[in-house]
Amino acid sequence: MPESQTHATELTSQYLAQVSGDLERNAKEQERVAADIEALQEQLRALQHDHTVLVNMQQALGGARPTTEADTTVAPAVPHQASAAPGQSKPKKAAATGTKKSAPKKTASKASPAQASTTATKPTLVDLIRGHLGQQSEPRSAAEISAALTEAHPDRSIKTTVVRTTLENLVAKSHAHRTKQGSSVFYTTAAAAEPAAAEPQQEAVASQ
């Protein structure tokens, strides 16, 4: 009996350790997937922001879409004027269409630059991170970057996990560089890392 109880206790301990390890890996995987989702949502918001700016710029430059919409809004008013005064329908029709078509173009040209300027003043998280790295002379960790951006933009919710995922995406696109010091990971902008990488090449040429 004592040997069987000891064997059962050892098996229970092994199963407990295995389950604990699985739970820990599951929690880390959930955190990683959640960070990826938040990063993708941030990229989607950036694309939607760029789309809005481009549409406003198209309208401000007098694109074809605002003109066709103005024509469709003016057309239903013409038959009513013709039926009210049959003898004078043609002159009034020409005058009405000439004045009403010109008005939407002016309002669109005035309103669109204002909308474009207001939307363009909101930088994305990618722009904030790249701008912050460009101002730093030394490598910075994801936690340091997140704390600095949160202090500079208290109205935005900036999480360290999202910042880390965004930094890894920048590294994958060669827009940033990653260095590891012990167990810590630091990031620098690509522009700052290029001169440092060029120095060993210059020394090698000088030695030849």
Residue pLDDT, tens place only, 57-109: 988 888 655 444 444 444 444 444 444 444 444 545 544 444 444 444 544 44
pLDDT of residue 85: 45
More confident residue, 62 or 205: 62
pLDDT of residue 2: 59
* CB-based contact 128:153 (threshold 8 Å): yes
pLDDT of residue 120: 53
What are the tens digits of pLDDT across the range 13-22? 888 999 999 9
CA-to-CA dists, residue 8 to 16, 33, 94, angstroms: 12, 37, 98
pLDDT of residue 68: 43
* CB-based contact 98:132 (threshold 8 Å): no
Cα 191 to Cα 201: distance, rounded to the nearest angstrom = 17
Closest CA to 127 of 201, 46, 19, 182: 46
> Which residues lie across from 185 on neighbouring strands?
180
Closest CA to 104 of 50, 63, 53: 63
User: What residues have CB less than 8 Å from 164, skipping those under 6 apart?
Assistant: 35, 142
Secondary structure of the chain: what % helix, strand, coil (to 5)?
80, 5, 15
pLDDT over 90 (residue 51): yes
pLDDT of residue 95: 45
User: What residues have CB less than 8 Å from 66, skipping those under 6 apart?
Assistant: 59, 104, 105, 108
pLDDT over 50 (residue 207): no
pLDDT over 90 (residue 30): yes
* CB-based contact 185:141 (threshold 8 Å): yes
* CB-based contact 101:70 (threshold 8 Å): yes
What are the tens digits of pLDDT across the range 157-196? 888 889 999 999 889 888 888 888 888 889 998 775 555 4
3-state secondary structure of 1: coil
Q: Which domains does the chain have, with CATH numbers?
A: 1-119 (no CATH), 123-208 (1.10.10.10)
Cα 144 to Cα 140: distance, rounded to the nearest angstrom = 6
3-state secondary structure of 60: helix
pTM of the complete model: 0.39
Angle at 184 (CA atoms; ends 182, 190), nearest 5 degrees: 110
pLDDT of residue 196: 47
What are the tens digits of pLDDT across the range 111-154? 455 454 444 567 888 888 888 888 888 899 999 998 998 888 88
pLDDT of residue 41: 92
